[in-house]
Amino acid sequence: MSGTVAAPDAIAMPTLADVQRARELIRGTVVRTPLVPALALRDRVPAPLFLKLENLQRTGSFKDRGALNRLLALTTEERSRGVVTASAGNHAQAVAYHGARLGIPVQVVMPEHTPLIKVSNTRRFGAEVHFHGATLDEAITEAKRLEREESRVLVHAFDDDRVIAGQGTIGLELLEQHADLTAVVVPIGGGGLISGIAIAIKEQRPSVRIFGVEAAAAPSALASRTAGHIVKLESADTLADGIAVKRVGERTFPLIERYVDDIVSVDEDEIAMAIHLLLEHEKVLAEGAGAVPLAALVADKLPIAKEDVTAMVLSGGNIDVNMVERIIARGLVTDGRLAMLAITVPDRPGNLARVTALVAAAGANVLQLSHARAFADISVRDVEIVMQLETRGAEHVREVVRALEQHGFGVRRQ
């Protein structure tokens, strides 16, 4: 697809007017998030890059926009019946928070392995939480059952025109915040976010290119575009749980086909690296879904030239702190700033002190240390000293290894 605006479909789709109306409805309640230059990433991305910080919304993601716009459209009778939704976390939190503000009972169905932070926040905002199935698709099926059997109103996470229009208010803000934008990079899960943004931008400035990024483990939009029709994936297990969707929306897919210039995917290591880059260099905490645009840019998967002015939508920051810890550790290992060395020395008094003195003289810091005798593949006269070191980088690790080897110690990287 070229991404140019085509003639309207026979079935009416959300319009620019719907997005503009949504902005008036949610104005003053939803944060008009900043668009900030990513100056510390200039050596990683070829063009001027700006971050649209949707992680600064009250519930930590862009979902506040669409959820509020949908809830405000409920009649008094529908509000009294309450709503039900299915979500892996961000949409659930947004519906729960704004539902509580508006006095609307909220029931949420979540996949069984939803990150704890998203579960606890959803409950804290006042929603009744149920767990069903291993995937979002299974949770949606359960939510539809509750809609039928308990007469609740279903608030879909992405396949709803008012939700799409609410998310599209980001696009209006982007054009106002930077008049020279030439490209916008957006995560894709079910497609509500990119559809709304694309409507808002392409209907006003068709020359701005819209790029979508999916997790390679859940490429529902890309698979559907390739097939020419909506495709359901067999699995969608990814670090970017916010976009782990097996099937793009019936309402969103035609909009993606009409407006989105290109779609690419990124793998799990690329997503983890992007989270680490944003945290360390930009001091911004992003969840996996929020980091996929940067992952695509750093991996040079998009046709961005040095003269392009690019905005990436950092869609959310709701990530479990334990996962952040693992990602940071992985990033430090990749950069060489964390290293594990196994050093073989004669098992005699004083050799441990000699090894640690050499490491210290080389300027590295010992974080952990252990001895291996019975389980190490070494002589019975030797001992293997396993050290976790903090270093300045890969070259520094090589310096430490050379210093140890020059003094007769056998060293191997772990």
Whether residue 4 lies inside any domain: the answer is no
Of 61, 87, 220, 315, the catalytic one is: 315
β-bridge partners, 61: 316
* Res 7 pLDDT > 60: no
Whether residue 1 lies inside any domain: the answer is no
Whether residue 7 lies inside any domain: the answer is no
Task: Judge whether 315 counts as a catalytic residue.
Answer: yes
Whether residue 176 lies inside any domain: the answer is yes
- Residue 180 and residue 214 share a domain: yes
- Residue 299 and residue 220 share a domain: yes
- Domain edge (last residue) among 94, 119, 154: 154
- Residue 255 and residue 382 share a domain: no
pLDDT for 375-391, tens place per residue?
A: 556 666 778 888 888 88
Stretch 272-288: mean pLDDT: 94
Whether residue 11 lies inside any domain: the answer is no
pLDDT for 160-209, tens place per residue?
A: 999 999 999 999 999 999 999 999 999 999 999 999 999 999 999 999 99
Q: pLDDT-based confidence at 2, cuts 50/70/90?
A: very low
- Residue 385 and residue 268 share a domain: no
- Residue 76 and residue 40 share a domain: no
* Res 297 pLDDT > 70: yes
Whether residue 283 lies inside any domain: the answer is yes
CATH code of the domain covering residue 347: 3.30.70.260
* Res 5 pLDDT > 50: no
CA distance 112 to 391: 40
Residue 283 has a pLDDT of: 95
CB contact at 8 A, 158 and 67: no
Whether residue 10 lies inside any domain: the answer is no
Helices (H), 103-188: 116-124, 136-150, 161-177
Residue in this structure with the two tokens 């029709």, named with its chain if needed: 229
CB contact at 8 A, 1 and 261: yes
* DSSP per-residue codes, 350-410: THHHHHHHHHHHTT-EEEEEEEESTTSSS-TTEEEEEEEEE-SSHHHHHHHHHHHHHTT-E
- Residue 175 and residue 270 share a domain: yes
- Residue 222 and residue 124 share a domain: no
* DSSP per-residue codes, 49-93: EEEEEGGGSTTSBTHHHHHHHHHHT--HHHHHH-EEEE-SSHHHH
Residue predicted with more confidence, 169 or 115? 169
CA distance 320 to 121: 11
Residue 377 has a pLDDT of: 60
- Residue 397 and residue 304 share a domain: no
pLDDT for 300-358, tens place per residue?
A: 999 999 999 999 999 999 988 888 888 888 777 777 788 888 888 888 888 888 888 88
CB contact at 8 A, 71 and 98: yes
Residue 32 has a pLDDT of: 98
- Domain edge (last residue) among 304, 330, 356: 330
Whether residue 85 lies inside any domain: the answer is yes
Residue 355 has a pLDDT of: 86
- Residue 345 and residue 234 share a domain: no
- Domain edge (last residue) among 330, 362, 389: 330
Residues in the chain, total? 414
CA distance 109 to 156: 11
Is residue 337 classed exposed, middle or buried when 0-12, 13-18 and 19+ CB atoms within 10 A define those classes?
Answer: middle
- Residue 270 and residue 176 share a domain: yes
Stretch 16-45: mean pLDDT: 96
* Res 237 pLDDT > 90: no
* Res 117 pLDDT > 80: no
| Count of domains observed in the chain | 3
CA distance 138 to 146: 13
AA letter at 97: Y
Domain range enclosing 397: 336-413
Percent of the chain with pLDDT over 90: 64
Is residue 297 classed exposed, middle or buried when 0-12, 13-18 and 19+ CB atoms within 10 A define those classes?
Answer: buried
Q: What would the two tokens of residue 185 be?
A: 């990079």
Stretch 61-70: mean pLDDT: 98
* Res 136 pLDDT > 80: no
- Residue 176 and residue 140 share a domain: no
User: What letter would DSSP give residue 189?
Assistant: S
- Residue 395 and residue 282 share a domain: no
Of 52, 61, 63, 202, the catalytic one is: 63
CATH code of the domain covering residue 96: 3.40.50.1100
Residue in this structure with the two tokens 């559809």, named with its chain if needed: 195
